Amino acid sequence: MLRLAVLLVGVAVLVVGIVVASSTSALPAAWFLIVGGAITAGTLLERVFYKPLHGAAPGGGWTKTGERFVDPDSGKMVDVFFNPTTGERKYVAEEPQRAARSP
């Protein structure tokens, strides 16, 4: 919902930039076009660059790369898996270790 609202704002600013460009000088129009373009492009490309975390390791055909890092958003340790057939990468959040039960 928020993503759609931000996208609509970006498109609206772009439209304002086009209207201003057709009626007045280029300086105010350039500001609207640059800001609207940045908002729109950032919103549309965000899902391309940010990869969601998966909860379980993928099935067959995937190999663990050995890359590990702490996800800054969730604070979880993340393992990276690679599919050599497609070139796709998946990011799997490691489950926190359960405390060992004492006998």
Which tokens go with 86?
């497609």
Predicted structure pTM score: 0.51
The residue ranking higher by pLDDT, 67 or 100, is: 67
Lowest mean pLDDT among 16-25, 51-60, 73-82: 51-60
Residues 6 or more apart whose Cβ sits within 8 Å of residue 78:
53, 68, 69, 70, 71, 91, 92, 93, 94
Q: How far is CA 66 from CA 3, 78, 79, 81, in A?
A: 33, 10, 7, 8
pLDDT of 82 higher than 50: yes
Distance between CA atoms of 5 and 12, rounded to whole angstroms? Answer: 10
The residue ranking higher by pLDDT, 100 or 19, is: 19
Could you tell me the pLDDT band of residue 75, with boundaries at 50, 70 and 90? confident
Distance between CA atoms of 85 and 103, rounded to whole angstroms? Answer: 46
pLDDT of 97 higher than 70: no
Could you tell me the pLDDT band of residue 100, with boundaries at 50, 70 and 90? very low
pLDDT computed for residue 96 by the predictor: 59
pLDDT computed for residue 54 by the predictor: 80
